[in-house]
Amino acid sequence: MGLSGARDLLQAVSAPGAEPPAAEVSIVWPEDGAVLGGNVHVFVPARDERRIARVDVLLDDLRIIGSLPGGVYSLTWNTRGIARGEHTLTARAYDTSGRTSTSAPVKVTVGEPLAVRVSSSGGGSPLSGTLSLSATVEHARGGAWVQFLTEERYLCDAHEPPYTCDVSTASLPDGPLEVRAEVYDDVGNHALSEWVRIPLDDARAASTASLTLPAGRVPVR
């Protein structure tokens, strides 16, 4: 055993009840330098989570924008009402022994919030056949991903402008359809549109095709 190994062993034996170091915490999302707006996902992993009682996320080292119990590592931060411009995010972990540790600061800029609006084909008239959905996305940072939803189901999605996709009305339930769009951009901003009411033609039906063969002929499989 070398000198350093012997010294480590001696320290371990002489201080069997020594406290382990405080837990480590960091903010990995949003990234340093990100431009944000609207609802932003903040991801705060912490090492040695078994000893963590909670993690606070602070804005400009003054205001707590969220508290996470041990074992939970993400929250949604609503930037509406936050002054436009540069801000600093930090995370502070509290372990079960009452000690604290603070992450490195992450500098972000709060700008215009991500926004999305929905429109559809038909111009307000009852639809049958194919329903074309379209979304207008504003203030996205980088690219954006849009999905169209009802209260009960996912309809379709679009990953690049123009954000459009088609749905067969034959697969939809009777009655007017309530649709909204959900959008995420490349830096984690998230937004929901208002609900849009789309009338459907009650007489619509799935289209079918048939093949008539001459008498006595058997189709080849």
Alpha carbon 115 to its chain centroid, in Å, reads 14
Q: Where exactly are the structural domains of the chain?
A: 21-110, 115-198
In the prediction, which pLDDT does 178 show?
Answer: 92
CATH code of the domain made up of 115-198: 2.60.40.10
Residues in the chain: 221
Taking only the tens of pLDDT, the chain with its 221 residues reads 444 444 443 344 444 555 666 677 889 888 888 888 888 889 988 766 568 888 899 999 889 999 888 777 888 888 888 899 999 999 998 888 888 888 999 999 998 888 999 988 766 666 678 889 999 999 888 889 999 999 889 999 999 999 999 998 888 887 788 999 999 988 778 889 999 998 887 654 433 233 333 333 333 33
pLDDT on residue 205:
46
Give residue 187's pLDDT.
77
Q: What is the pLDDT of residues 2-55, one digit of tens each?
A: 444 444 433 444 445 556 666 778 898 888 888 888 888 899 887 665 688 888
Residue 85: per-residue pLDDT:
92
Which tokens is 57 given? 């996320």
Q: What is the pLDDT of residue 91?
A: 92
User: d(Cα 75, Cα 77) in Å, to the nearest integer?
Assistant: 6
For residue 96, give Cα distances in angstroms to 3, 17, 43, 52, 87: 35, 16, 21, 6, 30
Same fold for the pair 21-110 and 115-198: yes
Options 3.40.50.720, 2.60.40.10, 3.40.50.800, 1.10.357.10; CATH for 21-110 is 2.60.40.10
Residue 104: predicted pLDDT:
93
Cα–Cα distance, 114 to 86 (Å, whole number): 17
